[in-house]
Amino acid sequence: MEEKKKAAYRVGVIVLVVLFVLTIGEYFVAQIPGGVISVLFIIAIAKSWAIMKYFMHITSLWSEEGGH
């Protein structure tokens, strides 16, 4: 139980770090002149995928398992 809880907290930390790195990446990509809109969109999609999968648990929508 305790191990499971720690593992779940750890996932949250990893996702936060990834989101931070991608946000900083976005900031620096924006400093490059011209043609960065598509790259910024790709980064935003990657960030949104991480949020939906790990924070919003979108996979639970089609999961066979009931409960939380």
Partner 1 sequence: MSVATPYVEPAHHEHHELPYSEQLRNNRLGLWLFFTSEAFMFIGLLSSRFYLWGNTRPDLDQTLGLIVTSVLLVSSFFMNRAETAIAHDDRPEFLRSLLITAALGIAFLVGVVGFEWQGHIGPSDGAYGAVLFGMTGMHALHVVSGVIFILIVWNNGRKGSFSAERHWGVEACAIWWHYVDLVWVFFYPALYLMGHVVHG
Residues interacting with partner 1, by CB under 8 A? Answer: 1, 4-5, 8-9, 12-13, 15-16, 19-20, 23, 26-27, 29-30, 33, 36-37, 40-41, 43-44, 47-48, 51-52, 54-58, 60-61, 66-68
Q: How far is the CB of 55 from partner 1 (least distance, A)?
A: 4
Q: How far is the CB of 56 from partner 1 (least distance, A)?
A: 5
Q: Which of 15, 23, 4, 10 is nearest to 52 (CA)?
A: 15
**Residues whose CB is less than 8 angstroms from the CB of residue 36 and which lie 6 or more positions away in sequence, other chains included:** 29, 30
The torsion angles phi and psi of 5, rounded to 5 degrees, stand at: -65, -45
Q: How far is the CB of 32 from partner 1 (least distance, A)?
A: 11
